[in-house]
Amino acid sequence: MIEAKGLTKRYGATVAVDNLSFEVKPGRVTGFLGPNGAGKSTTMRMILGLDTPTSGEVTIDGQRYRDLHRPLTKVGALLDAKWVHPNRSARAHLTWMAASNKLPKSSVDKALDMVGLTSVANKRAGAFSLGMSQRLGIAGALLGDPEVLLFDEPVNGLDPEGIVWIRTFMHRLADEGRTVLVSSHLLSEMALTAEDLVVIGRGKLISQSTTQEFVDRASGTTVKVRTPQLDQFAGVLNEQHLVTRIEDVEDQGKVLFVEGDLSTDQIGEAAAAHGIVLHELTLQRGSLEQAFMQMTGDSVEYHAHEEIAAVTSLDAPDAAEVAAGPKEDN
Amino acid sequence: MSVIAVERIKLFSTRSPWWCMIVAAVLTVGFAALTTGFLKGAEEQQATIFITQPGAQLSQMVMMVMAALAVTTEYRFGTIRTSFQAVPQRAALLLGKTAVVAFLAGVIGLIASFGAWGIGTLFASNADLSINTGAEWRLLAGQGLVFSISAVFAVAVGILIRQSAGAIAILILWPLLVENLVNLIPKVGDDLARWAPFANGSSFLNQGQDFGLAGQGAGGSDFALSPWWALLYFAGWAAALMTIALVSASKRDA
């Protein structure tokens, strides 16, 4: 189990990680989600003792990384696939890593075999494609057969085949009872890979929950109603204690949105009972991406204001509001 | 001792250390061939062991470059993070690297000095180049020690600078230029030069040598310390610099 308590990292005036506390449980794949620059890599470097926290601490089964004896047998990590000497062969790279933790020579062959690099083991790592480098990094992480595994953006830049391979691999590792922490800035990827989610933005914890909970919360539904008797119908619904809001939608004039995961059946029946004319009655589901952007939007380091605004108004005007619900919960 | 094994595997699994070592050995031996090969008659008879060693400083530089690169390439390619991840006791890891590099530099120093002497005895066969005095043994065997200590110096600079070009520039400019230029400073210049680290390294080698053809004072004449104290002083500098480097590497973010 990985446990962070009040983890903070400052670089001069910049706060990269701000009082971050979370837990990563064994036997599951935990996604570490946040926009670029949210502090994911910094946090992972602190877990591995590469960077020293300004305050707070992070432990692995109660021990700080720097106090671990033969750490590769406890924690395997792939933070950057390029951290290999380009003129050293894949086998030599793994051989020195194995020697550093007194691992048997056979562990090198085993790791190479596990990621399918045996045939190119004696080639220089500098000639590897990104996918092969990524596999070499994973081989390094698996070398000591560790209980805890950390991967920083492992699918970045990979082709679909590589992405599927990594995804399946993570699940296999978790099924073997290991603790797996995978960072990503892609929510859709995490929804497929991770069972738990730790979401951060600007170095702060935004939410920690199972992926299912996060998705349910984030992608709640609203019912969109177009009617000439807008105010009257809103009043009717409000009497039934339903949350409504009226918005100006381009080309459609004023539109009524009903929140609270209702079905169109209920709204339609209510309209009929009060003799309300309906022009449109549709169920709208918020997209995960929209929800994620809304939740972390305030915490993106470098805003692209116009783009985000454009996407919000064009595709899913409701998603923004949908996401506002879970945001308050936090 | 696993850190020794680690650094040995790292060093020998890339090509550039091999080239550095070969070049370092060849340079001293080659220079000895040049300085002794063309001597004739009376000149040949005046050749001394000192005459066979002019390439040594160049070889020493090459080994320092190799030593510095052993660290700076790790920073360049990010493998230092993989290393610290595998061995979080950073000082132990870096000391392992220092030990491996210093040992190799020492071996190359010995190969270079005795190789050069061997070539000298071959080319200037009419001169008396037999190793008789303690000073002569110190000149040849001592080269190994000076190479080792220089390598420690270079690793320390590499750890502190973390960047190949910068580290190499310092390692070459310091002994070749800075230590000579301080001479020019009025009043304190002479003292500064006498107490400079690399000056003491060569003072250890050169004191009491028969400079012969190279002319009097070719190996310096103004020594601050007796040979072995000079070596210790040089080693002290290397140790101090290494301590600063290890403390700094342990504290800062990798």
Q: What is the mean pLDDT of chain B?
A: 93
Q: What digits encode the pLDDT tens for the residues A190-216?
A: 888 899 999 998 899 988 999 888 877
What Cα–Cα distance (Å) separates residue B37 from each residue in A168, B31, B76, B119? Answer: 69, 10, 43, 9
Q: How far is B147 from chain A (nearest CA, A)?
A: 26
Q: How far is A82 from chain B (nearest CA, A)?
A: 7
Higher-pLDDT residue of A286 and A49 is A49
What does residue A128 show for φ and ψ, rounded to 5 degrees? -75, 150
CA-to-CA distance for A234 and A248, rounded, in angstroms? 15
CA-to-CA distance for B144 and B107, rounded, in angstroms? 6
Q: How far is A144 from chain B (nearest CA, A)?
A: 10
What is the set of domains in chain A, with CATH numbers?
2-216 (3.40.50.300), 219-329 (3.30.70.980)
Task: Report, as an integer, the average pLDDT of A122-141.
Answer: 94
Residues B59 and B28: beta-carbon distance below 8 Å:
yes
The answer to whether residue A322 scores a pLDDT higher than 50 is no
Chain A contact set for B83 (CB, 8 A): 100
Q: What digits encode the pLDDT tens for the residues A209-246?
A: 998 888 777 666 778 899 998 888 888 888 888 888 78
Is A99's CB within 8 Å of B81's CB? no
What is the predicted pLDDT for the residue at A220?
Answer: 66
Taking CA–CA distances from A124, the nearest residue in chain B reads: B14
Q: Give yes or no for A52 touching B (CB within 8 A).
A: yes
Closest CA to B144 of B175, B174, B102: B102
Task: Report, as an integer, the average pLDDT of B88-114.
Answer: 97
The answer to whether residue A328 scores a pLDDT higher than 50 is no
Residues 6 or more apart in contact with residue B140 via CB below 8 angstroms = B49, B53, B110, B113, B114, B117, B131
The answer to whether residue A330 scores a pLDDT higher than 70 is no
Helix (H) or strand (E) run with residue A325 in it: helix A317-329
**Domain limits for position B169:** 2-251
Give the distance, in angstroms, between the CA of residue A213 and the centroid of all CA atoms in the same chain: 13
Q: Give yes or no for B87 touching A (CB within 8 A).
A: yes
The answer to whether residue A160 scores a pLDDT higher than 70 is yes
The answer to whether residue A175 scores a pLDDT higher than 50 is yes
Q: How far is B4 from chain A (nearest CA, A)?
A: 9
What is the predicted pLDDT for the residue at B223?
Answer: 86
What is the share, in percent, of chain A residues with pLDDT greater than 90?
Answer: 51
Chain A contact set for B253 (CB, 8 A): 45, 50-52
Chain B contact set for A65 (CB, 8 A): 88
Is A96's CB within 8 Å of B13's CB? yes
CA-to-CA distance for A215 and A222, rounded, in angstroms? 15
Beta bridge partners of A5: A57
Chain A contact set for B14 (CB, 8 A): 85, 87-88
Helix, strand and coil content of chain A, in percent to the nearest 5, comes to 40, 25, 30
pTM recorded for the entire structure:
0.84
Q: Give yes or no for A84 touching B (CB within 8 A).
A: yes
Size of chain B in residues: 254
Residues 6 or more apart in contact with residue B210 via CB below 8 angstroms = B48, B49, B50
Domain count, chain B: 1
Task: Report, as an integer, the average pLDDT of B130-146.
Answer: 94
Per residue in B13-50, is it b (16+ CB within 10 Å) or e — as a string?
A: bbeebeebbebbbbbbbbbbbebbeebeeeebebbbbb
Q: Give yes or no for B14 touching A (CB within 8 A).
A: yes
